[in-house]
Amino acid sequence: MSADVKHAARKAESSHSFRVVARAGFAANGLVHVLIGVIVLGVTFGGHGETDQAGVFKAVAAVPAGFLALWILAVALLALGIYHALEGILARGGDAAKKWGRRIGEWGQAVVFIALGVIAAAVALGAKPDADQSAEEASRGILSIPGGPFVLGLIGIGIGIGGVSFIAMGFMRSFEKKMAIPSGPAGTGIKGLGVVGFIAKGIALIIIGILLTVAAVKVEPSAAGGLDAAIDALLALTLGPVLVGAVGVGLIAYGVFCFFRAPYARL
């Protein structure tokens, strides 16, 4: 990275106003996960709903002042994504290999949050995205190119590895290093929410990764899907409703954890 690029990134990141909006991004992400968890629990008990981020944004759009809420969510999520992108550019400490490893991790998070912000803005403008259909169409496009099944398989494996990383972060409580968690009962509660939430989100990502990998092996785009398809896949298993209910509770826990992460994150 050139010195000029790093200087510009450092200057942007040091802005107090920008950091405030970026912190709001954690809260926005928390709200999204709480709503997803609530919808997942509803599906567990026989209800209907889109159990993914796009479905949540469309649900928000349907309530009074939903248009305004979506734009607030979009701005906050985009700011958090940009913050992670800047962190990737700066990549402080360690040798070259560690810095690039940190960059890849930060830029991966940047892509996720920026994508969520763009989806929220698109829904605010009237779009009605379908995550499962988008995943199927994207998979079809990838499978149609030379080596497409291999590429899609790698994407599925990558998402699955990301899920394993979330589970590991939950068990090892490594998320604590990125937060200034208070001591006492409040801190213990926040840590507990983090453990449960990270594990639940990891499980959901692993299932999505499996769906994409299966689509690659079968060369069958219809086998691909997002979180909504992952929940359907879980429901089809023995004790599926119990598993889905556990994931729903876990996603709510992760969402509440993100609310606490907003003020306590080390930015």
Q: How confident is the model at residue 9 (pLDDT cuts 50, 70, 90)?
A: low
The range of the structural domain enclosing residue 39 comes to 1-129
Band of pLDDT at residue 131, cut at 50, 70 and 90: low
Q: Which of 85-89, 145-149, 194-198 has the lowest mean pLDDT?
A: 145-149
Q: Are 134 and 259 part of one and the same domain?
A: yes
Interval 184-220: pLDDT, tens: 888 999 999 999 999 988 888 888 888 878 877 776 7
Q: Are residues 110 and 25 in the same domain?
A: yes
The span from the CA of 167 to the CA of 169, in Å, is 5
pLDDT score, position 188: 92
- pLDDT tens digit sequence for 208-252: 888 878 877 776 766 666 777 777 778 877 777 888 888 888 899
Cα distance between residue 52 and residue 37, in whole Å: 9
Domains identified in the chain, total number = 2
Is the separation of the CB atoms in 248 and 185 below 8 Å? no
Q: Are residues 90 and 106 in the same domain?
A: yes
CA dihedral of residues 204, 207, 208, 212 (deg, nearest 10)? 170
Checking if the pLDDT of 1 tops 60, the result is no
Cα–Cα distance measured from residue 103 to residue 174, given in angstroms and rounded to the nearest whole number: 18
Cα distance between residue 31 and residue 59, in whole Å? 12
122 and 137 part of one domain: no
240 and 252 housed in the same domain = yes
